[in-house]
Amino acid sequence: MAAGETLPTLRGVEAAFARIRSFVPETPLVRAELLSRLLGCDLWLKNEGATATFSFKLRGAANDLLQARASDSLKGIVASSSGNHGLAVAWVARTLGRPAHVFVSTQVGPRKRHLIEMMGARVHAVGADVDYARAAAIDYAGANGFYFVNDGVSLDLMEGAGTMALEIAQRLPDVDAILVNVGGGNLAAATAVTMQALQPKTKVIGVAPDASPVIADSFRQRRALVIPPRETVADALAQRETVAFSLSVLWKYLADAWLVDDATILSAQRALLESAHMLAEPSGVACLAAAWTHREELRGKRIVLAITGANATVAQIQRALAAPPLA
């Protein structure tokens, strides 16, 4: 299904939910008692680190590739990634018995490259950022007749990501807001569409590092911007430019977009580990940093945080534990 043909729908998300169930069991949704007291709200954590590849990305990759397999277009599989999307594509490709090639920028560290290789894919490190790697991956897929899993442009991938919100809506009534970490915007867009259909009073708020404001600024200014990111601990959320498809959905359904600084992200990573015994990478916990920063706005409300990934390195964990506590 071409991305430009239509917007994601609840029906599409429900179909994805049924399609990927054997690949992606439902992830935990738990109330965080200590963090609820700290922030003064009814705080719930959707732990997307509890998948086979330790992030929400497996949802979209599974739905996209299962749909592609049904149309018999999987001679080989290609993706570009800063880490988690590549892991997900590699895992699904191996499960389906298809060769996979994942293109990453030279900024992606050896640990992430090794993990992708361990999942069964060949890694190609090219260019200085994820946008360059994406262009190289598209060229490679075209030259070899392989299928490109386009994170941010694929409708099937976006509706697969929306299954996270479907699980939240089915388990927890009267949600006031869901805070979602934003890189390319797939998960936030799909979450906003799904909650609009099932719990229309729920506000979905995107969260990005202030070192990479392109999505938030593009959302607010209602025009697609290009803003080179600065270095950030939340490197998986760093983007230079927006994707037209996901941005169009965000403009239509997202309630707001918030920015958070690296220091608060690291403190939030520490708080999540100490107070909820939950491991997250910095990019996966930006939403908790935003909840802390905006705690007065959220006081007394029922809030869900999408903890989107757990692929933290030992160095990242050590740095978080050395950060000041949120309180």
Closest to 186 measured CA to CA, from 310, 60, 65, 80: 60
pTM across the whole model: 0.94
* CATH class given for the domain over 3-56+156-321: alpha beta
Query: From residue 197, how far is each of 190, 192, 201, 219, 247 by CA, in Å?
Result: 11, 9, 10, 21, 19
| 57-153 CATH fold | Rossmann fold (3.40.50)
Closest to 279 measured CA to CA, from 287, 289, 268, 290: 268
Low-confidence residues in the chain, pLDDT < 50: 1-4
- Do the domains 3-56+156-321 and 57-153 sit in the same CATH topology, yes or no? yes
Closest to 282 measured CA to CA, from 194, 202, 177, 211: 211
Q: Delimit the domains of the chain by residue range.
A: 3-56+156-321, 57-153
Q: What is the pLDDT of residue 77?
A: 97
Closest to 48 measured CA to CA, from 234, 181, 142: 181
Q: What is the pLDDT of residue 221?
A: 96
Please report, as a single letter, which amino acid is at residue 267: S
pLDDT tens digits along 177-235: 999 999 999 999 999 999 999 999 999 999 999 999 999 999 999 999 999 999 999 99
Q: What is the pLDDT of residue 95?
A: 95
